[in-house]
Amino acid sequence: MTSASFDADSFSAAILRALAEAPGDGGMSLPRLGKRLGQGASVVMRQLTLMGDAAIGGVRGPGWVRVVQLDDRWVAHLTDAGREIASTLPADENAR
């Protein structure tokens, strides 16, 4: 996927789907999430920041994800709000 064809809405949906499919508590390391989505960890982290509850430009995000640092790795988790949104998403047409 090139940056010219990058669509934040579909990327957000892909992140939500991937985290919803993660085993256990829905946590997934940023490198693993990036590899699964075909994007670098920095690209994934920027999108996760927009999807979290941080205020950017005075506007709070939707709070769908939270990112925590466990020892030396960053792990993304769905929040309850994110899990609810993920359950309403249509199936991914590009899934293998």
Task: For residue range 5-14, list pLDDT tens digits in order.
Answer: 334 589 999 9
pLDDT given for residue 93 in this prediction:
58
pLDDT given for residue 5 in this prediction:
39
Structural domain total, the chain: 1
The domain of 46 spans 7-88
Residue 22 in domain: yes
Distance CA 21, CA 1 (A): 22
pLDDT digits (tens, 9 = 90+) for 24-72: 776 999 999 999 999 999 999 999 999 999 998 999 999 999 999 989 9
pLDDT over 60 (residue 3): no
Residue 62's CATH number: 1.10.10.10
Residue 45 in domain: yes
Give the mean pLDDT of 77-95: 84
Distance CA 95, CA 43 (A): 20
Instruction: Give the number of other CB atoms < 10 A from CB of residue 53.
Output: 13
